[in-house]
Structure formats: C-alpha cells, structure tokens
Structure 1
Amino acid sequence: MTLKFDVWTKFSGGGDNCVEVMRTADEVLVRNSNRPEEAPQRFTYSEWDFFTRGTKLGVFDL
C-alpha cells in the first residue's frame, strides 16, 4: 500500500486498537487513532523505510 500525502490512513489488527499513518513532504507521522489530539511520532523517510523493511523480514517478531 502506498501512503497518500497529507491524509491519515488507519490500520487495525482488529478491535479498538488502531494506528494511523500519514505521509508528509519530509516525514511519516504515526498516531494512536483513539488519541488523535496527542502529538504523533515522527519518522524520516529513511527511518520509516528501515522499519518497514525490518517488519517484512520478521526482525521485530516476538
């Protein structure tokens, strides 16, 4: 899935626990959908790329 610019995209594994992600011109923002008023976590494109590649490889699996 490709993230759209300046639009929050919601991801849910089921239940009420959802994460929203948004792509801006210089970074990727991540927030808790249940607390949209709180400041989002900010990641550079390089950080986000590293994280998503690691996730696909199972690096963060428990």
Structure 2
Amino acid sequence: MSWLPLIIAALLSITVLVGYVMVMVGIRRQDKALSLRPHPGGASASLARRVTGCYVRDGVSWT
C-alpha cells in the first residue's frame, strides 16, 4: 500500500483546518470590537472578511 495518498490527504486536511480556525479567530476579533472598521485589525480579520465576503464601503458594512 502506498503512503503517498494518505500523506497528501493528511496535509490537505491540516491546511483546511488551519484555514477554518484562522477565519473563526478573525470573526471573533471583529465581533469583539462590535463594529466593522474600514480596515481590518489584522491578518486573521482580513482573511475572515475575504472568505465571508464581508467588506466596508464608505463607513457602512456590507455582507
């Protein structure tokens, strides 16, 4: 049995899990601030906005 597919699946799973956790941390950071500023507070908040499609235009948040 080849170990290569198992290793690839494990790496892909870890990558998806890390991405999910980063988005969740970004959402929590934005939620803790109780407002959406025009510029995100960090890399995780920026990633969360990009993944969820939420952005701020002219001081008004759009989802």
User: Which bracket does the TM-score occupy, shorter chain normalised?
Assistant: under 0.3
Q: Specify which structure has the higher proportion of helix.
A: 2
TM-score (norm 2): 0.26
Query: Which of the two has higher C-alpha Rg?
Result: 2
Instruction: Name the structure with the higher strand share.
Output: 1
Taking CA–CA contacts closer than 8 Å with sequence separation of 6 or more, which of the two structures ends up with the larger relative contact order? 2
